[in-house]
Amino acid sequence: MSVDVILGLQWGDEGKGKIVDCLATNYDFICRFQGGPNAGHTLIFDGKKYVLHTIPSGIFRENLINIIGAGVVIDPITLSQEIASVEAENINVADRLMISNRAHFILPTHRLLDKASEAAKGKSKIGSTLKGIGPTYMDKTGRNGLRYGDLFSPNFKSKYNNLKEKHLGLLKMYPDVEFDLPAEEEKWFESLEEIRNIRHINAEYLINRALDDGKRVLAEGAQGTMLDVEYGTYPFVTSSNTTSSGVCSGLGIPPGKIGDVIGITKAYCTRVGSGPFPTELFDEDGEKLQKLGHEFGATTGRPRRCGWLDLAQLKYSIMINGVNKLVVTKLDVMSTFEPIKAATSYAINGEDTTELPYDLTDYEIKPNYQSMPGWEEDITKIKEYGSLPQNAKDYISFVQKNAGTEIFIVSNGPGREQMILK
Ligand code: GDP
Ligand code: IMO
Ligand code: MG
């Protein structure tokens, strides 16, 4: 068997959590392969809302195992809070969750460094979630990190102290920021005790053996392609590989074992934090998208910037990831817009192009838009593709044609049932 992948094609928050939760019952394993508690994946069912940050979005489904893979970074404080919120629903998380020994820990001083580094950047800050993501991945590639498996080593405390001392040295370069380190450390060590009972595994063996045994595995991406450290809008990105290549390194599986790559795009675009966003709207349409789409960050609560769909950007993401199936979410939010617009190319320095420049901050990019008629109807209760208003179907066909990739699911509301198979 192979590993199917679900990942975001924009700047995150495309609705990955919802779609993973919807499709999870087709799989035996759901695995996060990168990112950490900077992610916020929202699941809504039975009238309740859950936001997951580190735990994969299959946790509420029976008879499957969720794995936090090697490429993920873990903050025990967030993880133990998440576990408590899932256990409040009478789910024994230890039965359903496993953690790779190779996943790295976010220390309290990583969060402190994140905060200090952003403060030092002033106006050019990344707009980080301040969860310690950047400093933790820096320690990983710098070969200083502390891993989940180390928790079971007798040297854990001394490894922790060495890394903390290094951080305290680095912090001297930065302006002082408010951070109660002793209190955060106390919480961190308490939380470690709470997560100790989660099975720690050599996930690369477990996943490869499961595939050999015919088990079905789904990899759940966090963030989005435009936040990828390599191919996103650098430097306004996160610090991991959010793209399909990250699945191989993050789970320890070979490229030939990647199956379907399912890419998720909203019917429009959003971005939270700083950085370039060619189709961003600063007018009433932008405000309306934010209001109707409830566009506020699931992790930080910050308002998300909104704009029209960017097909040049979408095609780029499809290319980078090898997407063979598309999901369009939040089509319901587009109801009542007249007209609906989507960018098909850019004018850069007076020349038309469909190619994204390597650095979007250096150029003045003017999107070239195509307008389409909208629809007035509420589509949130529709179950069959054929029952959508003609203009909504025309918009979906237009996106599919421009993307050059089959759209197989349209999501028409935040709930688990609000999903139309095309
Ligand atoms: P993720 O990070 O990709 O999992 O996405 P988030 O959970 O951060 O943000 C997506 C938001 O949109 C959440 O509040 C979801 O409940 C909501 N959502 C997902 N799909 C739809 C949809 O089709 N329509 C509407 N209106 N909301 C949706
Ligand atoms: P999900 O998985 C949206 C953004 C931050 C910031 C930049 C770097 O919910 O889609 P970091 O904390 O990684 O140093 O922040 O990336 N960012 C996200 N934006 N959704 C996310 O995750 C994000 N994770 C990070 O806002 O601009
Ligand atoms: Mg999110």
Q: Is 338 left (phi over 0), alpha (psi -120 to 50) or beta?
A: beta
- Residue 258 in contact with residue 3, Cβ under 8 Å? yes
Peptide bond into 235 cis (omega under 30): yes
Return d(Cα 15, Cα 403) in angstroms, integer: 19
Report the separation in Å between the CA atom of 12 and the middle of ligand 2, taken as the mean of its atom positions.
Answer: 7
pLDDT of 152:
95
Ligand lying closest to the C-alpha of residue 289: 1
Average pLDDT over residues 188-192: 98
Q: Is the CB of 15 under 6 A from ligand 1?
A: yes
pLDDT of 335:
97
Share of the chain above pLDDT 70, in %: 100
Is a pLDDT exceeding 90 seen at residue 182?
yes
- pLDDT by residue (tens digit) across 253-286? 999 999 999 999 999 999 999 999 999 999 999 9
Rounded to 5 degrees, what are φ and ψ at 9?
-105, 0
Q: Which of 126, 132, 114 is nearest to 361 (CA)?
A: 126
Pairing verdict, β 351-353 and 365-372: unpaired
How distant is the alpha carbon of residue 106 from its chain centre?
18
pLDDT of 75:
98
41 is an active site residue: yes
pLDDT of 66:
98
Report the separation in Å between the CA atom of 42 and the middle of ligand 1, taken as the mean of its atom positions.
Answer: 6
- pLDDT by residue (tens digit) across 48-104? 999 999 999 999 999 999 999 999 999 999 999 999 999 999 999 999 999 999 999
pTM (two decimals): 0.97
**Got the DSSP string for 128-179?**
---SSHHHHHHHHHTT---BGGGGGSTTHHHHHHHHHHHHHHHGGGS-----
- pLDDT by residue (tens digit) across 24-60? 999 999 999 999 999 999 999 999 999 999 999 999 9
| Ligand 2 nearest atom to the CA of residue 40, by list position | 9
Rounded to whole angstroms, what are the CA distances from 33 to 145, 246, 250, 253, 393?
Answer: 17, 7, 5, 11, 34
Average pLDDT over residues 123-132: 95
Q: Is the CB of 407 under 6 A from ligand 2?
A: no
Report the separation in Å between the CA atom of 16 and the middle of ligand 3, taken as the mean of its atom positions.
Answer: 8
Return d(Cα 224, Cα 317) in angstroms, integer: 9
Share of the chain above pLDDT 90, in %: 96
- pLDDT by residue (tens digit) across 332-387? 999 999 999 999 999 998 899 999 999 988 788 999 999 999 999 999 999 999 99
| Averaged pLDDT score across all residues of the chain | 97
pLDDT of 170:
96
| Ligand 1 nearest atom to the CA of residue 223, by list position | 2
Q: Is the CB of 222 under 6 A from ligand 2?
A: yes
Tokens, residue 201: 């595994």
How distant is the alpha carbon of residue 73 from its chain centre?
13
- pLDDT by residue (tens digit) across 281-324? 999 999 999 999 999 988 889 999 999 999 999 999 999 999 99
